[in-house]
Structure 1
Amino acid sequence: MDSDSFVYTTYIRTTPDEVWKALTDPALTRRYWGVAFETEWTPGASMVWDEGGRRTVDPEQVVLAAEPGRLLSYTWHTFTPAWAAAVRLDREVYARLARERRSRVTFAIEPSGDTVKLTVTHGDLEPDGTIKGLIGEGWPALVSSLKSLLETGEELPEPPR
């Protein structure tokens, strides 16, 4: 694993099209992630993150690649004071996050027998940065909830903060 990347792989008993839908359909992303994306899902399209009614918009928040059932990549979201307050993020931690370079996330979707291999790569991270530490816990929980939703119809309950 590169020092500027976090990689997480899981196998989900579903189809590539269902994984794609779960990554891009606002009704589904809201269920397991708490976020809905407003975008055209085409390379270069802007992305608005809607999280509990808080809309995060930034010209550098864009789709990088979108191949339905195969690959999805976009720049990571913009950290704003409103977002930090909503998630009860310490001011010092927020200040460190806001200084880090923008990262990107890529979802590789591959058929694997009766399952789908989903690999999440969060790259362009500061090697010792704050976001790298946070996503190390965040992505496994998020992908586990996605997997549960696709396999059972129910997302995992949100862990207590």
Structure 2
Amino acid sequence: MVWKELATETADPEQVVLEAEPCRRLSHTFTPEWAKANGIDDETLARLSAERRSKVTFEIEDLGEELVKLTVVHDGFEPGSTVRGMIQHGWPALLAGLKTLLETGETLPEPQ
């Protein structure tokens, strides 16, 4: 599985699709490769790489009348996980940006 985001590409043999049901559900392993593309220091990257791979699941529920509900669950963390600490603010920001884009057609401004 390869993620393409702006000018970066995230690929890792351990980043795999675990479950896919078109228009309904996608579950995949989460690997630390994203950190390399986002300027994470080598020490933190080593800690991320040593952790067990966590899992991200996206579930879309049809609510009718052109409405859907998106649920994102990121789980499978080890106690004291470095990944968990790093993503706890990342997912809300990403989902807020997605919501804004879908509702307005515009992206959120870049943080200053």
Give a deviation string over 1:98-155, Cα, whole Å, max 9, x none.
1111111101111235432211001111231111011100000001111111111112
Give a deviation string over 1:48-101, Cα, whole Å, max 9, x none.
133454433322211112212211111113437xx53x4221222212111111
Partner of 1:95: 46
Name the Cα RMSD after superposition.
2.1
Structure 2 counterpart SS, 1:116 = strand
Percentage identity across paired residues of the two chains:
57
Partner of 1:120: 72
Structure 2 regions of 5+ residues with no counterpart? none
Please show how residues 1-161 of structure 1 align to structure 2 within 5 Å.
47-79=1-33, 83-84=35-36, 86-112=37-63, 114=65, 115-160=67-112
CA distance in 1, matches of 2:59, 2:5: 24
- State the TM-score, normalized to the length of structure 2: 0.82
Which gives a bigger RCO, structure 1 or 2 (Cα 8 Å, sep 6+)?
Answer: 1
CA distance in 1, matches of 2:96, 2:32: 24
When residues 63 and 129 of structure 1 are mapped into structure 2, their CA distance, relative to the original with a 3 A threshold, is same
Structure 1 runs of 4+ with >6 Å offset:
none
CA distance in 1, matches of 2:110, 2:20: 28
The structure whose residues are more often strand, as a share, is 2
Structure 1 regions of 5+ residues with no counterpart? 1-46
The aligned length equals 111
Give the letter aligned to residue 69 of structure 1: C
Contact 1:49 1:77 (C-alpha < 8 Å) held by counterparts: no
